[in-house]
Amino acid sequence: MSEKTIFKKIIDKEIPAKIVYEDDLCLAFHDVNPQAPVHVLLIPKKEISSTSDIAPVDEPLIGHLFGVIRSLAEQLGIAADGYRVVSNCGLNACQTVPHLHFHILGGRGFGWPPG
Ligand code: DGP
């Protein structure tokens, strides 16, 4: 069996994280290396490696995650001014943890195009 990812260990409460939201399907916690005043990661509890591995059966889950993102943006106080949601997929996008995750970034302005 392959080794658990760091995010699976957070889901299983084997390592600590600053959790801001949890339900049966997902978990949100502060990024350990924040790139903005607010930087939270939202992950499904289901082990999906990346956006490329989302199956049709996962579509209701992904919809749920975006509902949680909307609520979290309000809860974190970044909805009014705007925020960015990012999911890095694969090598070119610098994905480092092979468990699907959405970065929710806010509290400052962001440039476009991204680096
Ligand atoms: P990505 O490059 O998109 O795969 O981003 C992975 C993010 O995960 C990165 O911003 C740092 C964060 N991260 C890595 N390990 C940990 C950890 O142990 N705890 C927390 N809270 N965040 C982590």
pLDDT of residue 2: 79
CA 80 / ligand 1 centre spacing (Å): 26
What CA–CA distance (Å, rounded) separates 103 from 30?
Answer: 10
Chain-centroid distance of CA 34 in Å reads 13
pLDDT of residue 1: 57
* Ligand 1 atom at shortest distance from the alpha carbon of 97: 4
Task: Give pLDDT tens digits for 13-65.
Answer: 999 999 999 999 999 999 999 999 999 999 999 999 999 999 999 999 999 99
Pocket of ligand 1 (CB under 6 A): 6, 17, 29-33, 41, 88, 94-97
Whether pTM exceeds 0.85: yes
81, pLDDT greater than 60:
yes
Indicate if 64 belongs to the active site.
no
CB 101 within 8 A of CB 42: yes
CB 30 within 8 A of CB 40: yes
Q: In testing the pocket of ligand 1, which one of 12, 31, 89, 105 has its CB within 8 Å of the most ligand atoms?
A: 31
What is the separation, in whole angstroms, between the first and last Cα of the chain?
Answer: 36
Mean pLDDT, the chain, whole residue set = 97
- Given pLDDT bands bounded at 50, 70 and 90, which one contains residue 115? confident
SS (H, E, C) the chain: CCCCCHHHHHHCCCCCCCEEEECCCEEEEECCCCCCCEEEEEEECCCCCCHHHCCHHHHHHHHHHHHHHHHHHHHCCCCCCCEEEECCCCCCCCCCCCCCCEEEEECCCCCCCCC
